[in-house]
Amino acid sequence: MSPMLLLRSWIAVGLLGGAALCAGAAQAQTLKVGDPAPAFSVMSTTGKPVALADFLGKKHVVLFFYIAAFTDT
C-alpha cells in the first residue's frame, strides 16, 4: 500500500469517526422534570430485548438504580 493511499485511508477513518461522534452528540436530549421518558430498549439478563414501550399501560413499573454498582466503593 502506498504512503499516500494509507494517509487517505486514515483521514477517511478520522472523518467518519468524527462525524459519528457529532451525530451521537446531536441526538442527546435534555429532559425536564415531568417530561415523558424517551423510548429505549435494553437486553435483559436472559438475553431477550426489553423495551420501555412493553410496560406502557401497566399499573406499576419500578426502576431501580444502584448507584454504587459500577464504582470501587
pLDDT digits (tens, 9 = 90+) for 5-42: 888 888 888 888 777 776 655 556 678 888 888 888 88
Q: How far apart are CA 1 and CA 63, in angstroms?
A: 53
Would residue 31 count as lying in a domain? no
Number of domains in the chain: 1
Would residue 32 count as lying in a domain? no
Would residue 9 count as lying in a domain? yes
Would residue 18 count as lying in a domain? yes
So what's the pLDDT on residue 69?
67
Q: Read off the pTM.
A: 0.40
Category of 63 on φ-ψ map: left (φ > 0), alpha (ψ -120 to 50) or beta: beta
Structural domain for 22, as ranges = 3-26+39-70
Length of the chain equals 73
Return the higher-pLDDT residue of 62 and 48.
48
**Rounded to the nearest 5 degrees, what angle is found at the Cα of 52, between the Cα atoms of 54 and 48?**
70
So what's the pLDDT on residue 57?
84
So what's the pLDDT on residue 59?
82
Residue 56 — pLDDT band, cuts 50, 70, 90?
A: confident
